Amino acid sequence: MSAAPTVDDAIARYLDHLVVERGSAANTITSYRRDLQRYRDFLAGRTIVTMPAITEADVRDFLVALRRGDPDNGVSGLADSSVARTLVAARGFHKFCAAEGLTVTDVAHSVSPPKPPRRLPKSLTIDDVLAIIAAAGVGDGPRSLRDRALVELLYSCGARISEVTSLDLDDLDLEHRAVILRGKGGKERIVPVGGPAVEAVEAYLVRGRPALAKKGTPALFLNIRGGRLSRQSAWQVLVDAAARAGVEKEVSPHTMRHSFATHLLDGGADVRVVQELLGHSSVTTTQVYTLVTVNTMREVYATAHPRAR
């Protein structure tokens, strides 16, 4: 009867497999070796030295130990992202061992990594947005008219920066105050455009775009050479406007999109309507914005209600 494979031997075989069979990068091998050594030390602390002796409970306890650390010895727990990375190494290791017959079953198969904390989207105040829009349209030259129209449209429609820069003239219906946006996966949606954005786009089309249009192109937003404005250039337009407006928060096109959604929900819009406007395929993607408004309500309640505390 052959001896049960040891944890050390199994780890060595797995790392060889990653190098020879999988062709994994040197940095990946180094990371996996470090994570599996941590796993090996944990098992050794339980006097587990052979593969068949490892149970699913051991893998789960390893996960808990990673998050908790060792406070008595001044060792902090790992962040959820690091715990998840280490568990990926352990799960890959056990899957390999089961496939190679080193163990009967994959004891790590059902162990899931910790879910990362849900991060609330960053949102600007309405005053911040208005200041940025005003700063984008300083002057009456073609570029100023273009920049004002661009920023107005970003906020008015909650559009992604790529959706705005890919707009063609035929995508606009200013008479009915609507625009066709093409989102991820080529999905189209019709989104209403607010009055100030319509006015800004009309001013650009009449007094700005003709001066920039040096060659035939259907693109709505043009660069100084007459071609389609790039995503990077449009991003810079927004960043420069935020700097001129004195807005100290980090501002990006996605910040404007977050602000669009948050301001709509604060104003009483139904989450499913906001889902359609944003072009989200699932309402659960949009519901993260409701966390922002719930937090706002809590703050108002805590400061205004006489029996809140």
Catalytically active residues are 160, 184, 254, 257, 280, 289
Structure tokens at 135: 């700063």
Placement of tokens 């699932």 in the chain: 282
* DSSP-based three-state secondary structure for 168: strand
* Residue 287, φ and ψ in degrees, nearest 5: -65, -15
Asked whether 14 and 36 are in contact (CB, 8 A), the reply is yes
* DSSP-based three-state secondary structure for 76: coil
DSSP annotation string for 7-22: HHHHHHHHHHHHHHTS
Structure tokens at 39: 């796993």
The residues near 1 (Cβ < 8 Å, ≥ 6 apart) are none
In DSSP terms, 70 is beta-bridged to 75
Residue length, the chain? Answer: 309
Distance of alpha carbon 125 from alpha carbon 277, whole angstroms: 20
Chain centre distance of CA 309: 35
- Which of 150, 295, 172, 137 minimizes the C-alpha distance to 231? 150
Report the Cα–Cα distance between both ends of the chain, in Å, rounded: 70
